[in-house]
Structure 1
């Protein structure tokens, strides 16, 4: 969970110790369900992606700041796509265009074929849905 502590400033839903503890429990559940992917450098987790097969959705992704722009996020998403139903839309909620935190993730999702969809609010934070349509 060192990775999450390191990048939590970038995630509105990880502001309190309780939220982080709840996130850790969710991560454990996803590991047990085989809907969690990790990128490792030795024993260190440098990338994490949680997804939902029920909702065909990328739920959370984080990459260690020192490992960004090395293709880790792309590899994690491609592995996730192998586990989701490609005959249906795949969704991810991310930052809105006007949110400075959104520049890198929005660019990544677009480069992988995701398209902008409706604006929404998730846990009182303004976001935007991105959709990858079936092949």
Structure 2
């Protein structure tokens, strides 16, 4: 295991053990006894989020869980999440969840913004011809698909586990799920609808996001699976605070804006593939 991965894992352990406390980069650095500049760099490189972003998303995810599964007052939950007032908590919660804490509680459906990252101890990050290793998924891959979505749940607002498994299982039966595996780790997965050209799901493990894998999946899709369709996808709207960077990825890959939509009550935007780009 590389020193960088060990250091990032220690940061995650520290954050998770102190989620109910007020946390910032300075405190985390002191807690794990590293330079804050060093930590900020290696964490962002490995995870794709800054330490601050990860803390905010994890705290709000735990707060959302309490809103649904506990009788704690919203003020108490705000204080537990490290906010000094219910007003400050409600403002950031609505920015990220598109509902006030009260509306979220009334809806009685929990979904996280961010789950704890579980890092691969021995990621194989050597650049290769990823496209040749992409294959069709089979039903035995479903548990690995669930493990992957836990790592990238930040890109799929309002994701419900049972619905996700049922949907992926259905696409696997139709031979419309592509995967990339590294031994017992699912590096990436794409589910698509052959009739509409819609990419229903594309996720890449955080540690592998700078390896050109998303572009390899898109090329595989266009060249072998959607020969008579134009790929499209729905993603976060411009300026959505909950977007950790997925919209920018799609733009770099060559997708352009189309109509604004709402999916499961969440504001999104459809994007259509125009020309080959890059996901680097």
Q: TM-score, length-normalised on structure 1?
A: 0.83
User: Of Structure 1 and Structure 2, which has the larger fraction of its residues in helix?
Assistant: 2
Aligned to 1:6: 151
Aligned to 1:49: 190
Residue 21 of structure 1 and its aligned partner are, at CA, apart by 1.8
Aligned to 1:116: 257
Instruction: Work out the CA distance in 1 between the residues paired with 2:272 and 2:190.
Output: 17
Whether 1:71 aligns to 2:204 is no
Residue 3 of structure 1 and its aligned partner are, at CA, apart by 0.8
Q: Deviations over 1:34-82 (max 9, x none)?
A: 1101111112111111100121111111111111111111111211223
RMSD of aligned residue pairs (Cα, Å): 2.1
Instruction: Structure 2: give runs of 5+ residues left out of the alignment.
Output: 1-145, 276-280
Instruction: Work out the CA distance in 1 between the residues paired with 2:214 and 2:274.
Output: 19
Instruction: Work out the CA distance in 1 between the residues paired with 2:247 and 2:196.
Output: 20
Whether 1:125 aligns to 2:266 is yes
Q: Deviations over 1:93-117 (max 9, x none)?
A: 0111102454633233223322111
Number of matched residues?
A: 130
**Equivalences for 1:11-90 in 2 at 5 Å?**
11-14=156-159, 19-82=160-223, 83-86=225-228, 88-90=229-231
Q: Match of 2:196, SS?
A: coil
Relative distance call for 1:118 and 1:89 in structure 2 (3 A) is same
Q: Between Structure 1 and Structure 2, whose CA radius of gyration is higher?
A: 2
Instruction: Structure 1: give runs of 5+ residues left out of the alignment.
Output: none
8 A contact 2:155–2:244 mirrored in 1: no
User: Of Structure 1 and Structure 2, which has the larger fraction of its residues in strand?
Assistant: 1
